[in-house]
Each structure stands twice: as structure tokens, then as C-alpha cells.
Amino acid sequence: MDFASILIAILTLTAGIGVFLVACQMMSSNLESASSKGLKRLFSKTGDNKWVGVGIGTVGTAAIQSSGAVTVMVIGFVNVGIMSLTQAATIIYGANIGTTVTAQLVALGMFGNGSISTTIIFAAFAGIGAFITLFTKREMWRQIGGILTGFGMLFVGLEMMSDAMRDFSELEEIRNMLASISNPLLLVAVGAILTAIIQSSSVMTSIAITMVVTGLINLDQGIYLTMGSNIGSCVVAIIAGITSGVNAKRTALIHLMFNTMGVILFLCIAGLLWIVSGGATSFGTLFNNFFNGAPQMQLAMFHTVFNITTMLVAMPLTNMLVNLSCKVVKDEPKIESDAPHLYYLDETMLRTPVVAVRQLKAEVENMAQMAIDNFNRSLHIVTTLDYSEIKKFQKTEDELDFLNKELVRYAVTLSGKQLNLYDNQYLASTIRTVSDLERIGDYAENIIEYADSLRTQEARFSDYAIAEIKEAQRLINDLYKEIMIAYHKVDLTALGRANQIEDEIDKLTREMETNHIQRLSLNICDPNVGTEYISLSQNSERVADHLINVGKSIRKLVGLQA
């Protein structure tokens, strides 16, 4: 081969890797959108059962074809405190198993000889998917088209990489150079470094498969490169962990320890096989015997066996790994801070938009709880002039203002991601919803001002007035409960019940104003509190209006559930 041929081979390899990476991203994003409902349900089932965690990690990664995305998402959950380190560890175990699906697909695509092979057949799906995407307007079919296009492009990239490897295999200098690299530790290191650079263990494993198939390296070399790719795949999690909290750093460390432990275990097994057999047996010879004549399947199966075995070994050691991570990454000195913060969201979750949407909804529901709690505090203060909870009230009001800005920002950021119609519609309504909730907090502030006025005047509402306020409070809390059922479950029946309660509130607040004027004329109520009482009744009616607005946001979601 001349210099031009070598350059073409290098460029072809680079192009193949690029196409493969784009295909993985396209498949991942479309699979994630298409399976959003299942994915949201899946990650809501995390519990204390370790095997459930492994299953969630395996299925989740297989569904979206990205162990990195699942791992980063888990780090996000741990960082905001809604998932324990033990739960995170088991999901990471499963994610490593789920990522072997890509290697199996690549191996499947490399069967066949001559002009018709499974690679060519599977690559044709890129065209089929493109036509579907081009000629359909239905979201479901566009997602299917995107999945098929990504799937086909996966094999287009694979074929380009294979062609480049075949060209390299014709160069005796390259074959001799690669043949001289037989040290397992060096091969593991090379695999880890290359994976860290590419940030995709799937690409590294696929490259190793093409190198084995074309004869550029032997099976044992491919096995050690693949083992190294497992360590290199931890880079994505480490980067996410560095910029997050203590527990997120510990999760990234557990991921690194888990994968490193697996590599060490298999290196020890390889050494024992070599010693016992006198150098006649290795992983390569074992898998060659099991899958004779199919080098691509040999390496893909090793990849699967490696990750399943590592998981089985790590399962009983999970608590030890968690404790070790806690010892290595020490707790940071606790700094008392009342600074507002997000409770269920983390920037790392943007890597998995459909799950981020689910967590955004949890933040909105939490904000709603804060808003109604502050409204109840304000009514307690205005009716009793008991200011014992005023600091809690002020802190919550600051949090509501913070959440209003942050959730709108987060929703806008998410809206730029690839999401299905349901999630996009939800995001569009979220901006209005958080504004309605923030306004409830503002009306609660108004009520506190009325309490301040009463205290200054040394006046109080009459028992009749307080009884009406309590009744309005009861109805508004009943309204809140129905609205949150409707919002959480997208339940029009609950919204219907909420509308009926709102009608009662409208009627009651009108009666409150009329009754108060009558009491003033009879000298039952202090005339100095007249303005405050009427304003309070109007504010209560507006709180009900904003709650109804939150409920109405579900109307456009009905029938769009993913």
C-alpha cells in the first residue's frame, strides 16, 4: 500500500467511527422518546431489592442503547438525594450488561460472505427509516423511522470501519506491530485510553470486533481491549460526578471500582488458565471452541459473559463497595445554608430528557405543596396573629421565587431536546403552571401584610369572620387535593370535581364580602379591619383561580400519553 492508500484507510476509519457514533446517538434519542412512558415507569420502581436495580439498569440501557446516559442519570438521582448509593450501584451493574446488546448487534451484522451479508441487509434499514421519516407526519412513525435510520447507519459505520481494518491488515508492518503487543496489561490500558477519548465503549468494542474479524489482531488481544473499554467507559460518569455533590462522586467511584474489579478478576482467571494449561489455554481458545468459525460472536459473547460474571461477583460485595466509596470520598464539612435549591432535578439529568421531564414534574408538584403550605400558614397567622412560623413562611416564599425562575429555565432547556409530543406539550404548559404557583405565594404574602396591619392596629377578625375564613381554607385545600390528583394522573374526572369545588369557593367568597358588610352595619365586626377582610376574601378566590389554571394545563395532554 502506498501513502495515499494508507491515508484513505485512516480517513475511512475516522468516518466510520463518526457515522457509528452519530448512529448510536440517533438510536438512543429516538428509542428514548419512543419508550418514554416505560422508561419513566421503570426508574420510578427503584427500591431496596438489588436484583430489581440490576434489571432496571439492564432494561433501561438496552432500551436507549446508552450505558453512559443511564449512569449519568443515576448520578443525577443520587446527587439530589432521591436514590441511595446502593440502588445506584445495582443499576450501574445492570447498565454494564445492557450495553452488551450493541456488541451482539454488531456481531450479528457481520455474518455472511460475498455481496450479500447481514451488514448490507441491516445497513439498508437506514434508507427505509429515512423514507419513513421523510413521508410521515405522525410522531410515532417519525420515531420509528429515526430508530431504523440509526440502526442502519450503525452498520454503515461498521462496514466503513471493517473496510479500513481490511486495508490495514494488508500492511505487514502494522500486522507485525500489533502482533508484538501481547502484554494483557498494555492492551487493557490501550482499550481504556481509546474508550476514554471516544467516550463510547460500544464504539471501542465494535472496533475490536472488526479488527478480530479482519485478522488485524487475534481474539485474545480483542478480549483485553474490550476489558479495557469497560474501564474507559467510566470517564463519562467521572466527569459528571466531579461537577456534582459528594454522593455523586461516590457513585462515579463505585462505577470505576466495579469495572476495575471485573478486569482484575478476569486478568487473574486468564493467568490461572495460562499457568494450569502450560500456556495452551486462554480466553481466546475457550471462546474459539465454543463459537468456532465466528470470531465476531466470540468477542461479543465474551463481552456479555464478562459483564454478567462481574455483576454476579459484585452483588454480594455491594455494601462493601458503598462503604469503601464513602471512606475514599469524605463527607464535606456541613455548612448550614438556607439557600433555595432544586429537590428532584440536576443538570446531569439533561442527558436523559424523558426522565428529566418526569423529575421536572416532581419539582412542580413539590412547588405546589410549598405554595399551599404557605397559603395555610398565612391564614393561620392572620386569624391568630401567631407569628411563630413567620421565618418558615419567608424561607418558603424565597424558595417559591427561586423555583419559579429555575423551573422555567430548566423547562426551556429541556424543550430544545428531542422529546415526544406529550413531553413537549407538558413543557409548554409548565412555564404557565409554575407562574400560577408563584402567584399563590404572592397572595399568601398579601395576607401576611393584612395580619401586620391587624397587629399594628391591635385589632382582630370577629369569630364569625374567622369561621368563614376557615371554611374557605377547607374548600381551597380540598380543591388543591383534587387539582394535584388531576395534575399527577392527567385525570379529567378529578379536574371535574375540582371545578365543582371552585364554584363553591366563588360563591363563598362573594358571601364573605356580603356578610362582612352586614356585620359592620350591626357593629359585630371592627370597621378598621373591613378592607383587610374583603381583600383577604378576594385573594382566596384568586388562589383558587390559579389552582384551577394548574389543573387546566392537563387538558392538552389527554390522549397524548406516551
Distance CA 110, CA 442 (A): 64
**What does the pLDDT look like over 4-49, one tens digit per residue?**
777 887 888 888 878 877 876 777 666 666 655 666 566 666 666 7
| Cα atoms in the 13 Å half-sphere on the side-chain side of 242 | 6
Residue-level pLDDT at 516: 74
Residue-level pLDDT at 361: 92
Q: Which three cell numbers stand for residue 281?
A: 489455554
Comparing CA positions, the residue from 58, 139, 45, 117 lying closest to residue 92 is 58
Using alpha carbons, list the distances in angstroms from residue 25 to 12, 22, 106, 175, 542: 20, 5, 16, 32, 46
Comparing CA positions, the residue from 465, 405, 464, 444 lying closest to residue 542 is 444
Q: Which three cell numbers stand for residue 262?
A: 471485573
Those residues whose C-beta lies under 8 Å from the C-beta of residue 409, and which sit 6 or more positions away, are none
Please check the confidence at residue 456 and state whether its pLDDT lies above 90: no
Comparing CA positions, the residue from 503, 519, 391, 506 lying closest to residue 466 is 519
Q: Look over the chain and give the mean of its residue pLDDT values, rounded to a whole number.
A: 84
Average pLDDT of the residues in 326-344: 76
Sequence-ordered alpha helix ranges (H) in 458-529:
463-489, 492-521
Comparing CA positions, the residue from 386, 495, 506, 497 lying closest to residue 448 is 386
Residue-level pLDDT at 33: 64
Q: Work out the number of other CB atoms within 10 angstroms of the CB of residue 242.
A: 10
The secondary structure of 452-473 as a DSSP string is HHHHHHT----HHHHHHHHHHH
Q: Which domains can be identified in the chain, with CATH numbers? A: 3-328 (no CATH), 347-557 (1.20.58.220)
Q: Is the dihedral of CA 495, 496, 499, 504 positive or negative?
A: negative
Check residue 556 and report its DSSP letter.
Answer: G
Distance CA 347, CA 446 (A): 34
Three-state SS sequence of 64-79: HCCHHHHHHHHHHHHH
Residue-level pLDDT at 562: 44
Residue-level pLDDT at 40: 58
Please check the confidence at residue 334 and state whether its pLDDT lies above 60: no
- At 289, the pLDDT band (50, 70, 90 cuts) reads confident
Distance CA 437, CA 370 (A): 9
Residue-level pLDDT at 58: 86
Distance CA 250, CA 241 (A): 8
**What is the distance, to the nearest Å, from the Cα of residue 15 to the centroid of all Cα atoms in its chain?**
30
Distance CA 302, CA 315 (A): 20
**What does the pLDDT look like over 475-529, one tens digit per residue?**
999 999 999 999 999 999 999 999 999 999 999 999 888 887 777 666 666 666 6
Share of the chain above pLDDT 70, in %: 87
Those residues whose C-beta lies under 8 Å from the C-beta of residue 152, and which sit 6 or more positions away, are 23, 122, 123, 124, 125, 126, 127, 128, 129
Those residues whose C-beta lies under 8 Å from the C-beta of residue 421, and which sit 6 or more positions away, are 139, 560
**What does the pLDDT look like over 87-135, one tens digit per residue?**
889 989 998 898 888 778 777 766 655 445 666 777 788 888 888 888 8
Check residue 243 and report its DSSP letter.
Answer: T
Distance CA 495, CA 482 (A): 7
Check residue 109 and report its DSSP letter.
Answer: T
Distance CA 562, CA 231 (A): 35
Angle at 403 between CA 400 and CA 409, to 5 degrees: 150
Highest mean pLDDT among 51-55, 137-141, 330-334, 521-525: 51-55
Please check the confidence at residue 387 and state whether its pLDDT lies above 90: yes
Average pLDDT of the residues in 259-285: 90
Residue-level pLDDT at 2: 63
Three-state SS sequence of 264-297: HHHHHHHHHHHHHHCCCCCHHHHHHHHCCCCHHH
Amino acid type, 192: A
Share of the chain above pLDDT 90, in %: 35
Average pLDDT of the residues in 60-77: 74
Torsional class of 215: left (φ above 0), alpha (ψ -120 to 50), beta (otherwise): left
Beta strands in 59-138 (DSSP E): none
Residue-level pLDDT at 369: 96
